[in-house]
Amino acid sequence: MKIIVAGCGKIGTTIIASLSKEGHDIVALDISAKALEEITNIYDVMCICGASTDCNILSEAGVEQAELFVSVTGSDEINMLSCFLAKKMGAQNTISRIRSPHYNENSLGFVKQQLDLNVSINPEQMVARALYDILRFPSAVNIETFSARQFEMIELRLKPDSLFDGLSLAEIRKKYPGNYLIGMVQREDEIFIPDGNFVIRGGDKIGLTASPAEIQKLLKRLGLFQKQAKSVMILGASTTAYYLAKSLLATGHTVKIIDKDRERCEEISSQLPEAIVIYGDGAQQELLLEEGIATTDAFVSLTGIDEENILISIFANSLNVSKVITKVNRGELSTMAEKLGLETIVSPKKVVSDILSRHARAIQNSLGSNVERLYKLVDGRAEALEFKVTPDFEYQEVLLRDMKLKPNTLIAGIIRNKKPFIPSGNDFIMAGDRVVVLTAGQQMNDLSDIIR
């Protein structure tokens, strides 16, 4: 599929990397020759230097044949105008990065309609939503949601003395019955889509799928349930911090935001009068201690510097803060941070990459189902996908036990009439269902791809 990506900053580069791996024909646009040189040194894509609002440049990029045009420059207005022009010139689908709270909270629907935008993405708002979900379930290191939050996958890092240690999945189901499924296991650098004979070990990271109520029930039985964080300290008054703080304040949380930019502190204080905003350098341990980091329920580090986020999160960990969340964009630093004991790491680039991959596959799809959600897990080595089943799906009402699935592929859940359940071999798929699939080592564009 031909895809044009305008804007080759951190987000744009991540999109190019992700879509290139999936075999798409990519054209990269940017006004910076240096940014494009870095792209060509790593990825096999065509690069064109110029403004994405220049019709001649768009024509040179082949916008008339583009099935997807993505604009993720640093300017909302340029992104919107670029997508508008691309659509007028023949691009079939457009995705625009729109970050400003002004657009997202006041006029996004109107803007999308008037400019004929297919999709708008706001990485900061999406990361804030992911952070909020984790603070809702502090026991988890990551949460992915499906089908309007009726079904979730949470990732848990088991302690060495976990009650699951030494038990097979079949034994766990007998000992702890319920409507849940352990569908993925990471053990050091290996990924498993396990069957009933698979034996869990302490230290494993497991992917648990179920409804939110079932997850909460199981965590309580295992003694892993942590109450929602009521007091949250946020380092860095970024746009992500604004969206997160707004959600937390709306649900009765106490929020304290620390930033060393006086002007930004004044701005976010006027936007969020209920938040406590502190002007100061959060890299200074004395300031954090004075502001009560040792007694806060959760600490979230959202500065623009990965290394600073990691170091300050390690300090928060040393004070036994119940929940520490760290924003890290660079993949190699994420791996290092995990080895240093930081369990919950979020990446804006990953969030955007997942969304773009899902839309690209949905555009390609015409085989009886549509990709509704897509999450890349464990550095992209595994995926969790949600498909919406259409009436022309070939394997309707075939018992799951009679389906020959591809290796390392698992049907983890079905949502039927808004009710989620974990399917057994005696269940089947119907038109209108939403089906959650876990897979490792496979690229799924359509639900039919699960069949061997």
Could you tell me if 362 and 435 lie in one domain?
yes
- What does DSSP assign to residue 199? B
User: pLDDT tens digits for the chain (452 residues)?
Assistant: 899 999 999 889 989 988 988 889 999 999 999 999 999 999 999 999 999 999 999 999 999 999 999 999 999 999 999 999 999 999 999 999 998 888 877 778 888 888 888 888 888 888 999 899 889 888 888 888 887 778 899 988 888 888 999 999 999 999 999 899 999 999 988 899 999 999 999 999 999 999 988 988 888 888 877 777 899 999 999 999 999 999 999 999 999 999 999 999 999 999 999 999 999 999 999 999 999 999 999 999 999 999 999 999 999 999 999 999 999 988 788 888 988 989 899 988 888 888 888 788 777 665 455 788 888 887 778 889 999 998 888 899 999 999 999 999 999 999 999 899 999 999 999 999 999 999 998 888 888 889 98
Q: Which of 165, 190, 221 is the last residue of a domain?
A: 221
451 and 442 Cβ atoms separated by less than 8 Å = no
Residues 372 and 316 in one domain: no
Amino acid at 122: N
Q: What is the pLDDT of residues 54-94, one digit of tens each?
A: 999 999 999 999 999 999 999 999 999 999 999 999 999 99
Residue 446, domain member (yes or no): yes
> Are 174 and 142 found together in one domain?
yes
Q: Are residues 100 and 14 part of one domain?
A: yes
Give the domain-ending residue among 327, 346, 365: 346
pLDDT at residue 452, as a whole number: 85
Domain that holds residue 336: 231-346
363 phi-psi bin (left φ>0, alpha ψ -120 to 50, beta other): alpha
On whether both 109 and 138 belong to a single domain, the answer is: no
- Indicate whether 137 belongs to any domain: yes
Query: Does residue 226 lie in a domain region?
Result: no
Structure-derived torsion over alpha carbons of residues 26, 27, 31, 37, reported in degrees to the nearest 10? 70
Read off the pLDDT of residues 21-64 as tens digits, 9 standing for 90 and up: 888 999 999 999 999 999 999 999 999 999 999 999 999 999 99
- The reply to whether 247 and 319 lie within a common domain is yes
Pair (374, 329) in one structural domain: no
The residue whose two tokens read 């039985």 is: 221
- Report the CATH number that the domain containing residue 340 is assigned in CATH: 3.40.50.720
Together in a domain, 16 and 77: yes
3-state secondary structure of 174: helix
Give yes or no: residues 177 and 279 share one domain.
no
How many domains, the chain?
4
Do 42 and 138 reside in the same domain of the chain?
no
Q: Same domain, yes or no, for 84 and 55? A: yes
Q: Are residues 103 and 149 in the same domain?
A: no
- CB atoms inside a 10 Å sphere around CB 168: 16
